[in-house]
């Protein structure tokens, strides 16, 4: 055991000295200036212990879900496709890795109660027995009382593990006040909300269509007004361009008038 900090070191030494003096040699004080948890990646491992999904070395994964009655662990191949195209061998190898990791996660997260494991389906009975035997062997290192049942006809492994105390998640988390721990938010009135959303979508589509139709009509009106203005302009120009009276007639009148004035 590695211990960082003078106060923690003194407390642990006093406790071990009174309870189990023979274990004092197994305690070591951390003398480095670096953080103990960071150097040994303890915080990283704790963060992974809270995740719902656990990745396996070959690319497969475990999905751990907790319900009120039991804990369900689903095994997936993920990116692991194996070599040589032998599906049965690939599935068996993935299940063997999953069996080892499941035993580790049970101890790490301190999960108890009824546990159901959904391994990937295997065709050969010998492979199913091999996976079950590997799971039992790995659970042999678990000091908490447990019991493993046979594989069911659906390929499920049922087991129980005694609840000793709070699990890891229960000890380091609180239930969400908004959703009550369900992870979802229910609409206050889902039927009316869905109907309202559909009605709004229909109204929006109708509004958009009418707006586009109005734009088309405005374009037509603009074109017609433009043609009318052009016609009126051309008509005015024709009126203004009407030729005046002949100049000869005006000159004649002026000549007569001039002659009368000169005679008098």
Domain ranges of the chain: 1-40, 43-161
pLDDT reported for residue 221:
54
pLDDT tens digits, residue range 28-83? 999 888 899 888 888 888 888 888 999 998 888 999 998 888 999 999 987 666 56
pLDDT reported for residue 201:
80
Neighbouring-strand partners of residue 161: 113, 146
CA-to-CA distance for 54 and 106, rounded, in angstroms? Answer: 12
pLDDT tens digits, residue range 87-134? 888 899 999 999 999 999 999 898 999 999 999 988 888 999 999 999
pLDDT tens digits, residue range 213-259? 555 555 555 555 555 454 444 444 444 444 554 444 444 444 444 44
Pick the closest to residue 105 from 70, 58, 56, 154 (CA basis). Answer: 56
pLDDT tens digits, residue range 1-42? 899 999 999 999 999 999 999 998 999 999 888 899 888 888
The values of phi and psi at residue 57, to 5°, are -60, -35
Rounded to the nearest angstrom, the gap between the alpha carbon of residue 197 and the centroid of all alpha carbons in its chain is: 23
pLDDT tens digits, residue range 137-178? 999 989 999 999 988 877 799 999 998 877 788 788 888 888
Give me the sign of the Cα torsion angle 229, 231, 234, 240: negative
pLDDT reported for residue 257:
41
Distances (CA, A) of 118 to 6, 43, 97, 136: 47, 29, 14, 15
């Amino acid at each position: 055991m590695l211990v960082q900090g003078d106060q923690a070191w003194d407390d642990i030494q006093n406790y071990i000295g009174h309870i189990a003096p023979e274990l004092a040699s197994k305690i070591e004080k951390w003398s480095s200036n670096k953080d103990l948890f960071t150097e040994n990646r303890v915080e990283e491992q704790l963060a992974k212990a809270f995740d719902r999904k656990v990745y396996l070395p070959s690319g497969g994964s475990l999905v751990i879900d907790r319900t009120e009655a039991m804990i369900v662990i689903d095994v997936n191949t993920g990116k692991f496709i194996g070599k040589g195209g032998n599906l049965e061998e690939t599935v068996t190898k993935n299940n063997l890795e999953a069996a080892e990791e499941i035993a580790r996660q049970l101890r790490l997260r301190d999960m108890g109660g009824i546990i159901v494991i959904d391994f990937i389906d295997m065709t050969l009975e010998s492979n199913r027995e091999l996976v079950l035997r590997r799971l039992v062997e790995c659970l042999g290192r678990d000091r908490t009382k447990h019991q493993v049942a046979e594989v069911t006809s659906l390929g499920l492994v049922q087991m129980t593990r005694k609840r000793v105390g709070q699990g890891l998640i229960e000890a380091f988390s609180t239930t969400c006040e908004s959703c009550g721990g369900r992870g979802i938010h229910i609409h206050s009135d889902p039927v009316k909300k869905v109907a309202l959303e559909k009605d709004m979508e229909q109204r929006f589509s109708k509004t958009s269509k009418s707006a586009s139709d109005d734009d088309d009509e405005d374009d037509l009106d603009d074109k017609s007004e433009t043609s009318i203005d052009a016609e009126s302009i051309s008509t005015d120009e024709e009126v203004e361009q009407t030729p005046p009276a002949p100049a000869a007639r005006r000159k004649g009148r002026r000549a007569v008038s001039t002659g009368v004035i000169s005679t008098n």
